[in-house]
Amino acid sequence: MGGNLLANYGEAVAMILFGIGFSNLLLQKNLIKKIIGLNIMDTATYLFLAEKGYIAGRIAPIVVGNVTSVEAYINPVPSGLVLTGIVVSVSVTALMLSLTIRLYRKYHTLDMDEISTMLKKEDE
Amino acid sequence: MEFIRNFPFFSILLSLGSGVLTSIMSKKTARLWNTFILVAITVMSAALFVYMLDVGEPYTFMMGHFPAPWGNEIRAGVLEAGMALFFCLIMLFSLKGGQEHIDAEIEETKVNLYYIMINLLLSSLLALIYTNDLFTAYVFVEINTISACGLIMITQSGRTIEAATRYMIMASLGSGLLLLGLCILYDITGHLLMSNIKESILYVYAQGTYNIPLIASIGMVVVGLAIKSALYPFHTWIPDAYGYSTVSSAAILSSLVSKGYIFLLIKIFFRVVGFDIIVDSKIVNILFVFGLFGMIMGSVNAILEHDIRRMIAFSSVAQIGYIYMGLGLGTTMGIVASIFHILSHASTKSLLFIAGVGLTDASGGSKKFEDLTGSGFRNPAAGIAFTIGACSMVGIPLFSGFISKMQFAEAAVQNSLAKMLPTLICLAISTVLNAIYFMKTVIRLYTPVSKKVRKTQAGEAAVVSMREHPLYNLSLLCMVILNVILGCCSQPIVDWITSGLSMFG
């Protein structure tokens, strides 16, 4: 168990980061901190993917010169997934930030709980 | 290859492409174009459905020029085609029913943006239904979330923006878990296509080498999708999002968006992991417990609510609970019951939202129960439609809700005692609770008021005759007919779902 953990420390770090990001996104009251949590969480997943795709001693999967053997390159699929994932997380972050700006302009606070109380007062 | 087999691909691409086109159109053209696209996709899905019923065998469709392990694939069977048809129909009716409100509540320059969101939503729903590739599914899950967020916040009031933010936070949590689960699954199996993953998982599971990561990753995927489809403790954004957004958005969100994720989950159960392993892993038991909680708590919250839209929203929480309870039973019959309930709830909930808005319009725009008194007389069409929807939700025979409750009960009876008793008890309690709040509402709608009291806080209550809003009434009629068809001709539909599920395996 311990030996496995040491050999796969990259994956272990990715999981810890995922946990940090997840709990920040869930528990923080401040919207900006929530968004930072979201980014940490997504990036942790990409770290995990990159770790999984990497094979020690091989190079990036771009054919240079005459090296065409499969043995020379790392697995390109996880890198492709990371790129797709980054595009998705960028757009989600942009959307969240724009929502935050809107809320801040209306209520002059970034605190989700305060906004909720204000909305309740608005109703009465 | 026959031409008709291109239809799933065409319908996804058509709605995706028309979303882009709509951005440069004027309000009126956007509406016309959107209707045209929706009708075209509905017709294509219907044709595909008839064709699939005739052929009786699923097929995979290669996207691009690379064959299976490298390229992307979509797959169509009876169940997928039928679901696509049903989703298109519900979307069409919800949009047409809420048309006047879309025009009135959304800023003039933003209406075409609304139709972009609708198109993106439709294409992502279709892609979730048809895709055979897990990572594609993840990407379209995100597109679905983003466009749903757009649908919520398009009216731009403080309430809807807050609801959209809450929705995005919950959805991001869900998609984070989903993505990590998919990555670990890819790591274990080395594939992204559903059928290849299933082969590898069967092999790995038999070897017993990676059982803990396998269960963990399946757990993450299931919990992620459950969070996204607002299973009970994750429902906090629902009442605001459904209660304050424009009515078409509420109807589409409650009846389609959350159902898309659930359909993907069922697909993952059958096509990715294999149903036996899912049942063996006991993950279904967790869904079962949360489903039962949702059934009761959603209804209790709905009873406590004083706002008709928020009441219907909380009722959605309860109905999502039903669906997860059916998945949690861990038998094919339970899944069939859940899929039937997806159809039944989608047709009923959109009917209730659209009918509800007619009633609030007839009460000076107020959603409070006190002001709604007697509104069933002021807008007869909406009153009748709401009553039918309420009857269906409670489970009166002739309507779809009755059949789905009966299916759940049948599935429960054939299960072990440990699951049978809680299911039946919760079904009974939940039905009574449903009856309490829906019948309370219907009685209020038909309580006569004297002319003096008619002045509500929000303004003069207007009497709406049957002839005034033809489009609105027509879509109500269509939804009622759909509901009655589901309720009266249930056997062919159940047979269709069962045969579709057997094609999944």
Report the distance separating Cα B301 and Cα B319, nearest Å.
13
Measured CA distances, B351 to B311, B354, B368 (Å): 14, 5, 19
Tell me what pLDDT residue B457 has: 47
Q: Quick one: closest CA in A to B163, which residue?
A: A116
Residues B191, B202: Cα–Cα separation, whole Å: 13
Cα A25 from Cα A22, distance rounded (Å): 5
Question: Two tokens at B293?
Answer: 């909680």
- CB atoms closer than 10 angstroms to residue B428: 12
Band (pLDDT 50/70/90 cuts) for residue A92 is very high
Does the beta-carbon distance from B180 to A106 stay under 8 Å? no
Mean confidence (pLDDT) of chain B: 89
Contact flag A22-B173 (C-beta cutoff 8 Å): yes
Kindly report, residue by residue over B410-440, the tens digit of the pLDDT. 999 988 888 889 999 999 999 999 999 999 9
- B127: closest CA among B151, B112, B147, B113? B147
Out of A29-43, A61-75, B440-454, give the one with best mean pLDDT.
A29-43
Q: Within 13 A of B216's CA, how many CA atoms are on the CB side? A: 11
| Chain A nearest CA to B158, separation (Å) | 7
Contact A102 B168 (CB under 8 A): no
What confidence tier does B455 reach under pLDDT thresholds 50, 70, 90?
A: low
The helix/strand/coil state of B63 is strand
Return contacts of A97-106, CB within 8 angstroms, 24+ apart: A97/A35, A99/B149, A99/B153, A99/B161, A99/B164, A99/B165, A99/B168, A100/A31, A100/A32, A100/A35, A100/B165, A102/B153, A102/B156, A102/B161, A103/A31, A103/B158, A103/B161, A103/B162, A103/B165, A106/B158, A106/B161
Q: How far apart are the first and last CA of chain A?
A: 58
Closest CA to B193 of B79, B59, B72, B63: B72
B139 within domain boundaries: no
Among candidates B139, B156, B176 on the partner chain, residue whose Cβ is nearest the Cβ of A22: B176
Nearest to B169 among A34, A42, A78 (CB): A34
Q: Count Cβ atoms below 10 Å from residue A27 Cβ, excluding itself.
A: 10
Query: Chain B residue closest to A76 (CA)?
Result: B70
Tokens representing residue B278 in the block: 């899912």
CA atoms within 13 A on the CB side of B209: 8
- Mean pLDDT of the B439-445 span: 90
Q: Are B240 and B212 in contact (CB under 8 A)?
A: no
Contact B322, B343 (CB under 8 A): no
Radius of gyration for chain A, computed over Cα atoms and rounded to the nearest angstrom = 21
Contacts of B413 (CB under 8 A, 6+ apart): B420, B424
Fold classified for A2-123: Helix Hairpins (1.10.287)
DSSP one-letter string for B118-186: HHHHHHHHHHHHHB-BHHHHHHHHHHHHHHHHHHHHTT--HHHHHHHHHHHHHHHHHHHHHHHHHHHHH
As for the ipTM of the complex, it is 0.94
Average model confidence (pLDDT) for chain A?
89
Confidence of residue B111 (pLDDT cuts 50, 70, 90): confident
Query: Given A31, A85, A100, which is nearest B179 (Cβ)?
Result: A85
Do B139 and A88 count as a contact with CB atoms less than 8 A apart?
yes
Q: How much is the average pLDDT of B140-157?
A: 91
Comparing alpha-carbon positions, the chain A residue that sits nearest to B175 is: A42
Please give the torsion angle defined by the CA atoms of residues B48, B52, B57 and B63, in that order, rounded to the nearest 10 degrees: 0
- Which residues of chain B lie closer than 8 angstroms to A85, CB-CB? 179
Query: B35-44, B86-95, B358-367, B454-463: lowest mean pLDDT where?
Result: B454-463
B484, B398 Cβ separation under 8 angstroms: yes
* pLDDT over 90 percentage in chain B: 58
What are the structure tokens assigned to B117, written together? 């969101």
Angstrom distance (rounded) from CA A73 to CA A107: 53
CB contact under 8 A, B165 and A31: yes
User: Cβ(A45)–Cβ(A18) under 8 Å?
Assistant: yes
Selection from B211, B231, B210 nearest residue B286 by Cα:
B231
The whole-angstrom separation of Cα B381 and Cα B465 is 8
Structural domains counted in chain B: 1
Q: Is A107 in contact with B158 (Cβ distance < 8 A)?
A: yes
Contact assignment for A85 to B176 by CB distance below 8 Å? no
Q: What are B241-265's pLDDT values in tens digits?
A: 898 889 999 999 999 998 999 999 9
* pLDDT score at A46: 94
| B52 within a domain of the structure (yes/no) | no
B204, B188 in Cβ contact below 8 A? yes
User: Quick one: residue A11, left, alpha or beta (phi over 0 = left, psi -120 to 50 = alpha)?
Assistant: alpha
The backbone torsions φ and ψ at residue B492, rounded to the nearest 5 degrees and listed phi first, read: -60, -35
Task: Count Cβ–Cβ pairs < 8 Å, chain A vs chain B.
Answer: 84
In this predicted structure, the answer to whether residue B387 has a pLDDT above a threshold of 80 is yes
- pLDDT (tens digit, 9 = 90+) per residue, B9-50? 999 999 999 988 888 888 889 999 999 999 999 999 999 999
Mutate to test the interface with B, among A27, A81, A105 (most CBs of B within 10 A): A81
- pLDDT grade for B62, boundaries at 50, 70 and 90: confident
Mutate to test the interface with A, among B139, B161, B182, B223 (most CBs of A within 10 A): B161
CA dihedral B137, B138, B141, B142 (to 10 degrees): -140
- pLDDT attached to residue B450: 67
CA distance B18 to chain A (A): 20
H or E element, residue A84 = helix A76-107
Cα–Cα distance list, A63 to A72, B146, B453 (Å) = 10, 37, 81
Q: Which residues of A touch B153 (CB under 8 A)?
A: 99, 102
Distance (Å, whole) CA A32 – CA A107: 15
Q: One-letter amino acid identity for B170?
A: M
Two structure tokens written together for B398:
């002739």
In a domain, residue B257? The reply is no
Whether residue B332 lies inside any domain: the answer is yes
Interchain contact, A99 vs B164, CB within 8 Å: yes
- pLDDT at position B41 is 95
H or E stretch covering A101: helix A76-107
Query: Cβ contact (<8 Å) for B162 and A116?
Result: yes
Report the sign of the C-alpha dihedral through residues B250, B252, B254, B258, in that order: negative
Residue B372 pLDDT: 85
- Per-residue pLDDT reduced to its tens digit, B338-364: 999 999 999 999 999 999 998 888 888
Range of the domain at B479: 285-505
Cα separation, B27 vs B115, in Å, equals 9
Chain B residues whose C-beta sits inside 8 Å of any chain A C-beta: 135, 138-139, 142, 145-146, 149, 153, 156, 158-159, 161-162, 164-166, 168-169, 172-173, 175-177, 179-180, 183-184, 186-187, 192
